Structures are given as structure tokens and as C-alpha cells.
Amino acid sequence: MKPKYIISSCLVGVKCRYNATCSSTVNLNDMIESGEAIPVCPEVIAGLPTPREPVEIQNIEEGVQVTSKAGKDYTAQFLKSADEVLKVCQENNITHAILQSRSPSCGFGKIYDGTFSGTLIDGNGIVADKLFKNGINVMTDEEFED
């Protein structure tokens, strides 16, 4: 079967989140095993280590900036990862993406507001936004479950 989906790796058991855990609301492993989907972690693709500092998107209305709580700027790595993941999609004719909710890379529709206080705002992670703007049908794991 040719893959049609990419799925955030942390949704299918890969412990690649910033705190070296995985997390999923729905079992998507069958889609990987059947070849219907490819697992992708944009932050690992960008060369970031696991575990790593948690980051959030800052000032989303004024332009993209991704920083850690300590103020370290990760914007360049996140923009690079978006380019890389789009390339993976284009090379494999991927049409759909199931991505981890609320992540600064993978979140779609809602993300944290940049204050590291757990507050959500409307917006997309850097990678999800890039894929969406390039015609990929993006949904979160929670939307897929529904």
C-alpha cells in the first residue's frame, strides 16, 4: 500500500516529545504497520535532541518566533523542519497529515500562547501551518478520533 498519511511520530509510540515521552488519544499504529502512513517527527528531523527544552510560539500575530522559556531562539530550526517535512510529503505524494494537538510544530487550530502558562490560543504549529498552506489535509489526532 502506498502511504497517504504522515503521522506525528509521538502519536505512534516514538518517545520523541520534548520530555522523551510519547502520547496519543487514538491508536494509529495499524496505519503505520499497513504502510498507509509514515511516522514523522519534525523536531527530530530539525536535529533537536530528545529530551529538549519545551518551546512555544511567541507573538504569533507579529511574525513567527519560537523560543524556550529561558528565551533561547529556535525559530530557524522550526522553519527548517517545516521545509523538510513538506519535502517528505511531496516526495511520497502524501495528501493527509494527522498531527499531535497543541504542539508548536504539529498543533493545528489551537496552540499555547507563548507564556508557558498552559493558555491556548487560535493558531497552528509551524509545520502544520506549512503543510496546510501547501494543500495537505491537516487534522489533529483528536479530530481524527472524532
| Member of 58, 67, 103, 124 binding ligand SF4 (CB under 6 A) | 103
Nine-digit cell string for 13: 509510540
| Member of 58, 100, 124, 140 binding ligand SF4 (CB under 6 A) | 100
Query: Is 18 strand, coil or helix?
Result: coil
Q: Which is nearer to ligand SF4, 106 or 131 (CB)?
A: 106
H-type helices in the chain, by residue range? Answer: 29-33, 42-45, 75-91, 126-133, 141-145
Q: Does 105 bind ligand SF4 (CB under 6 A)?
A: yes
Instruction: Name the nearest CA neighbour of 100 among 142, 135, 129.
Output: 142
| Member of 32, 41, 85, 111 binding ligand SF4 (CB under 6 A) | 41
Give me the residues that bind ligand SF4 (CB under 6 A), please: 8-10, 16-17, 41-43, 100, 103, 105-106
